[in-house]
């Protein structure tokens, strides 16, 4: 039997107003009382698979060895698969709807994928709408307790995992067309643009960058840290995940520029 795993890291869109997170944790601890449950976040916007996938891929490289349980599941109760994916440092468990695929790639790819079909490793459910409690939380706990992966269901082709719908920036004649991937609680707006792509537009650290935000054009200076910004000065910088972010020092760039996740942002090429 495989070794027990010490940690279950848990991400969901359940929020904390209802009992959903607490019940899933109770199910996990009932099966694997030795584990520590790490809460990644439970504030993913409801049913927003893309936002959940991005949050998970940002976090997964920092999580301890163990099982990752990720649940953002707008297709709950339908014929969409639920899967457990073996990776180098443990397993990822969740719905096969694009939520897991970027994180699996980030940690080196899937070794084995199983569809969670075993009736012996799930709870008796009064209805089909809480698969997080009834199927995925038990599967994560059984894996943490050392249950072999293949006991949880049938092995499926790893290449069949549903990919995430995560847009990449597009190189256009007048600039690099990207979008806001993530707005954090401080109002910083992470773009789907890396520093090399920013530099390829002709931008240079310390100089201004022209941004087209919908129908509005704003100038932003490329700085190193938030505190380099002057009062009310819009800036761009490379954030803690290595991506370009639009920011204001001690204020919300999202509010100031009317940006949200998915908002288009074009970085105009310097001529």
Q: Is 120 left (phi over 0), alpha (psi -120 to 50) or beta?
A: alpha
End-to-end CA separation in angstroms for the chain: 63
Is residue 28 situated within a structural domain?
yes
- Whether the Cβ atoms of residue 35 and residue 144 lie closer than 8 Å to each other: yes
Average pLDDT, the chain: 95
Q: Rounded mean pLDDT of 116-144?
A: 95
CA proximity to 143, closest of 168, 118, 125, 169: 118
Quickly tell me which residue has 């800036």 as its tokens: 235
Alpha-carbon distance 77 to 127, whole Å? 9
> Pick from 134, 160, 186: which residue ends a domain?
160
Report the distance separating Cα 264 and Cα 85, nearest Å.
Answer: 33
What pLDDT, on a 0 to 100 scale, did the predictor assign at position 271? 76
Cα 117 to Cα 172: distance, rounded to the nearest angstrom: 46
CATH number of residue 72's parent domain: 3.40.50.10790
CA-wise closest residue to 49 among 25, 18, 27, 80 = 80
Q: What is the pLDDT of residues 196-249, one digit of tens each?
A: 999 999 999 999 999 999 889 999 999 999 999 999 999 999 999 999 999 999
Long-range CB contacts for residues 27-31, cutoff 8 Å, separation at least 24 = 27/123, 27/133, 27/137, 27/138, 27/141, 28/69, 28/137, 28/138, 28/140, 28/141, 28/144, 29/141, 30/141, 31/138, 31/141, 31/142, 31/145
Residues in the chain: 271
CA-CA distance, 138 to 122, in Å (whole number)?
6
Q: For residue 8, which of 92, 106, 121, 123 has the smallest C-alpha distance?
A: 92
CA-only gyration radius of the chain, Å:
21
177 and 145 in a common domain: no
pLDDT of residue 260: 95
Does residue 259 share a domain with residue 196?
yes
pLDDT in tens, 32-90: 999 999 999 999 999 999 999 999 999 999 999 999 999 999 999 899 999 999 999 99
Whether residue 34 is found in the same domain as residue 132 = yes
Question: Distance between CA 138 and CA 111 in Å, rounded?
Answer: 21
Residue 165 is predicted with a pLDDT of 81
Question: CA 149 → CA 106, 111, 140, distances in Å?
Answer: 21, 11, 10
Is residue 165, in this structure, part of any structural domain at all?
A: no
| CA 46 to chain centroid | 13
Rounded-to-integer distance, Cα 11 and Cα 137, Å = 11
pLDDT of residue 149: 97
Domain that holds residue 145: 7-160
pLDDT at 110: 97
Output the CA torsion 207→208→209→210 (10° steps).
Answer: -150
Say yes or no: 197 and 155 in one domain.
Answer: no
Domain membership flag for residue 2: no
Of 164-168, 234-238, 251-255, 267-271, which gets the smallest average pLDDT? 164-168
Residue 1 has pLDDT above 70, yes or no: no
Residue 252: give its domain's CATH number. 2.40.30.90
**Boundary (domain end) residue, out of 160, 193, 211:** 160
What pLDDT shows up at residue 52?
96
């Amino acid at each position: 039997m495989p070794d027990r795993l010490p940690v279950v890291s848990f991400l969901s869109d359940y929020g904390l107003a209802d009992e959903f997170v607490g019940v899933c944790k109770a199910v996990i601890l009932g099966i694997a009382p030795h584990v520590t449950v790490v809460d990644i976040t439970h504030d993913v916007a409801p049913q927003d698979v893309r936002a959940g996938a991005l949050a998970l891929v940002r976090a997964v490289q920092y999580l301890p060895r163990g099982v990752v349980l990720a649940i953002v599941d707008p297709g709950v109760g339908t014929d969409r698969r639920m899967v457990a994916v073996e990776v180098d440092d443990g397993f990822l468990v969740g719905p096969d709807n694009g939520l897991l695929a970027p994180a699996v790639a980030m940690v080196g790819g899937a070794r084995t994928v199983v569809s969670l079909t075993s009736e012996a490793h799930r709870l008796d459910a009064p209805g089909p709408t809480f698969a997080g409690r009834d199927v995925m939380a038990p599967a994560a706990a059984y894996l943490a307790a050392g249950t072999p992966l293949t006991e949880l269901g049938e092995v499926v082709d790893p290449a069949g995992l549903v990919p995430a719908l995560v847009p990449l920036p597009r190189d256009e004649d007048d600039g690099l067309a990207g979008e806001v991937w993530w707005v954090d609680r401080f109002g910083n707006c992470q773009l789907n643009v890396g520093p090399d792509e920013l530099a390829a537009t002709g931008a240079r650290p310390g100089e201004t960058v022209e941004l087209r935000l919908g129908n509005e054009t704003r100038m932003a200076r490329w700085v190193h840290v938030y505190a380099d910004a002057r009062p009310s000065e819009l800036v761009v910088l490379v954030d803690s995940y290595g991506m370009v972010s639009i920011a204001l020092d001690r204020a919300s760039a999202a509010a100031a520029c009317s940006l949200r996740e998915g908002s288009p942002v074009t970085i105009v090429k310097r001529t």
